[in-house]
Structure 1
Amino acid sequence: MEALRVVINIIFILVCVALTVLVLMQEGKSAGLGSISGAAETYWGRNKGRSMEGMLVKITKILAVFFMLLAVVLNLNVF
């Protein structure tokens, strides 16, 4: 059982590092001066879910859920 706990801890650390990197790779939510003139409604603004930024957001959400689940499992003291 101790080996399983070590493996889960290693996975937890890898998820933490990946989550940190993904959050730092994302752009800020403020659009700058472009949002004042209405330039935010461009092709890239409408299709953000299919862009690299949209994919980063989806992966971040999945890793955040995985992070929380691993934190709960590690805190159960079953191992």
Structure 2
Amino acid sequence: MYNLLLTLLIIDCILITIAVLMQPSKTNDAMSALTGGADDLFAKQKPRGFEAFMQKTTVVLGVIFFALSLGLVWLSSH
């Protein structure tokens, strides 16, 4: 059981890394420093499409990572 959870944790770690790297970047350029950050007004919109999917996927994979980690700790202590 321990080996199965450890394998699933390693797979989850790889998937989290891929999901984080696939998310669109939110970089501030030099123009936002000159305009006083007025572009941030439109950046507060809810993510749609691919960006929303990737955020939800990252959250789900993070929860799975946390649960698998707790499961491994519990198994190693018993």
What amino acid is aligned across from residue 46 of structure 1 in structure 2? Q
What amino acid is aligned across from residue 72 of structure 2 in structure 1? L
CA RMSD of aligned residues (A): 2.6
Aligned to 1:6: 3
User: 1:23 is matched with which residue: 20, 23, 35?
Assistant: 20
| Structure 1: 5+ residue stretches without partners | none
| Structure 2: 5+ residue stretches without partners | none
2:51 is the alignment partner of 1:57: no
How far apart in 2 are the matches of 1:75 and 1:23?
A: 25
How far apart in 1 are the matches of 2:52 and 2:41?
A: 15
Aligned to 2:45: 46
Identity %: 23
How far apart in 2 are the matches of 1:29 and 1:37?
A: 15
How far apart in 1 are the matches of 2:60 and 2:46?
A: 20
Q: Is the 8 A contact 1:26 1:56 kept in 2?
A: yes
Aligned residues: 73
How far apart in 2 are the matches of 1:5 and 1:68?
A: 15
TM-score (norm 2): 0.72
Please state whether the residue corresponding to 1:30 is helix, strand or coil. coil
CA shift for structure 1 position 26? 1.2
How far apart in 2 are the matches of 1:66 and 1:29?
A: 26
TM-score (norm 1): 0.71
Please state whether the residue corresponding to 2:42 is helix, strand or coil. coil
